Structure 1
Amino acid sequence: MKEKYIVALGRVCIDEYYVTNEWPLMGEKKFVKPLEARIGGMVANAASVLAGYGIKVCYLDLLPKTAPSTASILEDFRNYSVSTQLIQFDPDIAETKCMIFLKEAERVIFITDVKRPPIRLEGQSRKLFFQAAYVYSTLPDLQELDSCDQVLAEYVAGGGKIAVDVEADSFTNAKEADHWFTCCSLVFMNQQAFDKYRGASDDADAARRLLELGPKMLVVTKGRDGCTVISKERVFSRESYRVQAVDTTGAGDTFNSSFLYGMIQGYTPEKAAEFASAAAARAVTAVGPRAGVAKAADVERFIRDYQV
């Protein structure tokens, strides 16, 4: 029987923030204003949001054993009530950094491509992984597991569910993505990823093809334009909450994890989409990748206040 906790599998990043008044052209030089560095990472952001709602989350990643950031990352997870018992350490890898350049409320992100060995699941780590009710990850992060195809197939065969966050740069083509979607239950795609995935197909055909692979639901997020939720039974769209955005970093992570929280709590897809949209809107009103961390009551209060 699966335990009621989630394994979050993904790279933790050191987010270095910079503010610019104007995007440079190639070959130009511009000054930027540095802001305080923060601990982020797509999956780490989502894990912190889920833990804030009271969901038990065990984080799985490979960290550099001696890097100055490692102790800070572990402390940060503890502060957000995310379990670090699955985290592994390697003395020979470098830390992963994100360089985030803000202009008004939008941003450009550069991520360092750090080469790492596969993550091996052995002993107690393997037991904890396979007993989790959900694994939340990204396509590249799933592939960091040693013998990933075998591990994921075994996990799903045992009743586990996988929720995956998909961005356009995380797959080469639809055929490659389809290979991984066969083991997924819930797929989140932003609009750019879905456009790349569907190619010359129309939206309905692309969504139908994806759902035929095994996922129960596809959620396409569209930023200020809301989201579309697609299952074999129905399709509906949800508008976003209009707020004055300060920093959109982590908004998608907040939406995805909040939607997943809603489904775990037994919300209807419509209610889950409303809750996730409110959580994401609330998150972008502050700077930082973890601005979406809140209690469920805070999000419900945002919904009530917004409607007044």
Structure 2
Amino acid sequence: MSTNFGILTLGDAMITLNPATTGPLRFVSAFERKVGGAELNFAIGCARLGLRSKWISRLGKDEFGRAIYTFVKGEGVDMTDVAMVEGYPTSLNVKEIREDGSGKTFYYRHQSPVLTLEPEEIKAEMFEGIDVVHLTGVFLAIHRKNMDIVQKVISIAKGKGIIISFDPNIRLKMWSIEEARTAYHTLFPDIDILLTGRDEIKSIIGSDEEKELTSLAERYSIGQLVIKDGADGSALYADGQWLHKEAFPVKPVDTVGAGDGFDAGYLYSLLHGYGPEQRLEFANAVGALVTTVSGDNEGLPLMEEVLSFINKEAVVER
């Protein structure tokens, strides 16, 4: 298991409060505290696979901020550029689960600590030893000024020849689809790898037909367009060709974090020289394993767990 490759991401983190009982949130009196956030999940997923994983963020200088910091550091993520700030409470994410299994998520991220991060704080030295920068639309949605930070990140990364990957990760509770589309199309020309859910890309460009997806990749010179399609597997458009890979059969109990895990798996396999089909297989395996465990990042697997899972499935198929 190599630890030579480095990945950097930046974004918010939250304390997730999961209800101890089902029903309307106003009647729930006990919660289980967890840690979540798209970019944070991704960083942890990369670290568990053995990559050198670096996360840039800001946390509230409060008890929840300390809980997140301790947890993520314990996962082996580089926290050098994570600062704790006064006057900005650590964000919360409270879940409601009804008796039929349906649910809602309530975000309390006004005055998020990450709002204190400014473009001038992004320095070239942060990118030493980094091979891939992974960005998501969640960070962009928090505040419009974050586009300036992302563009600063992209500028430095491109100057150093670092691969740039992007996951739209649409959050329509945080901004409108029109705002999201404008931001994404601004970034697409600089993206080397686009990792997106099928429903997401359909919302962005109005279609999920291969012809339209091919046109998007060609128009913006996106070297690898990866479509995450849940139980229907995944697809990759690269070098003028489409490749499809079926999903692994699992009984999902919680799909939260599966997309973040898929991203980590795909980029791990890319950096380690896997071929196109093997990249999709590996990423599908990571995503599938995440769905078998309840929680935002509890199901993100270790490298040996992924290999065991893939080999076991291969034996069954033969």
Shorter chain as denominator, the TM-score bin is 0.7 to 0.9
Give unmatched runs, 5+ long, in structure 2.
none
Match of 1:163 in 2: 165
Task: Determine helix, strand or coil for the equivalent of 1:240.
Answer: coil
What is the Cα deviation at residue 92 of structure 1? Answer: 2.2
Cα 1:245–1:37 shift into 2, 3 Å: same
Identity, in percent, stands at: 22
Which stretch of the first structure deviates more once superposed, 180-189 or 127-136?
127-136
Match of 1:212 in 2: 219
Q: Tell me how far apart the structure 1 counterparts of residues 291 and 52 of structure 2 sit (CA, whole Å).
A: 25
Match of 2:234 in 1: 227
Letter in 2 for 1:155: A
What is the Cα deviation at residue 148 of structure 1? Answer: 3.8
Task: Determine helix, strand or coil for the equivalent of 1:208.
Answer: helix
Q: Tell me how far apart the structure 2 counterparts of residues 20 and 198 of structure 1 sit (CA, whole Å).
A: 39
8 Å Cα contact 1:282-1:292 kept in structure 2: yes
Q: Deviations over 1:207-247 (max 9, x none)?
A: 42244313211111122222221224211222211212121
Q: Tell me how far apart the structure 2 counterparts of residues 161 and 133 of structure 1 sit (CA, whole Å).
A: 6
Which stretch of the first structure deviates more once superposed, 251-260 or 109-118?
109-118
8 Å Cα contact 1:119-1:145 kept in structure 2: no
1:250 to 244, 254, 257: 257
Q: Deviations over 1:8-42 (max 9, x none)?
A: 211111111137767x7xxxx87458541111111
Provide the aligned length of Structure 1 versus Structure 2. 299
What is the Cα deviation at residue 73 of structure 1? Answer: 1.1
Q: Are 2:302 and 1:300 equivalent residues in the alignment?
A: no
Letter in 2 for 1:154: I
Which stretch of the first structure deviates more once superposed, 98-107 or 234-243?
98-107
Task: Determine helix, strand or coil for the equivalent of 1:132.
Answer: coil
| Structure ranking higher in helix proportion | 2
Matches for 1:177-216 after TM superposition, within 5 Å: 177-199=184-206, 202-216=209-223
8 Å Cα contact 1:168-1:192 kept in structure 2: no
Q: Which structure 1 residue ranges, 4+ long, deviate > 6 Å from structure 2?
A: none
What is the Cα deviation at residue 206 of structure 1? Answer: 3.5
2:59 to 63, 84, 98: 63
Letter in 2 for 1:16: L
Task: Determine helix, strand or coil for the equivalent of 1:167.
Answer: coil
1:110 to 101, 106, 110: 106
Give unmatched runs, 5+ long, in structure 1.
none
What is the Cα deviation at residue 114 of structure 1? Answer: 2.6
Q: Are 2:105 and 1:98 equivalent residues in the alignment?
A: no
Match of 1:136 in 2: 134
8 Å Cα contact 1:61-1:119 kept in structure 2: no
8 Å Cα contact 1:62-1:119 kept in structure 2: no
Q: Tell me how far apart the structure 1 counterparts of residues 166 and 16 of structure 2 sit (CA, whole Å).
A: 22
Cα 1:131–1:211 shift into 2, 3 Å: farther
Task: Determine helix, strand or coil for the equivalent of 1:37.
Answer: strand
Q: Tell me how far apart the structure 1 counterparts of residues 30 and 214 of structure 2 sit (CA, whole Å).
A: 41
Q: Deviations over 1:129-173 (max 9, x none)?
A: 365221112134256275543442232132122211112337525
2:125 to 116, 127, 133: 127
TM-score between both structures, scaled by the size of structure 1: 0.86
Task: Determine helix, strand or coil for the equivalent of 1:290.
Answer: coil
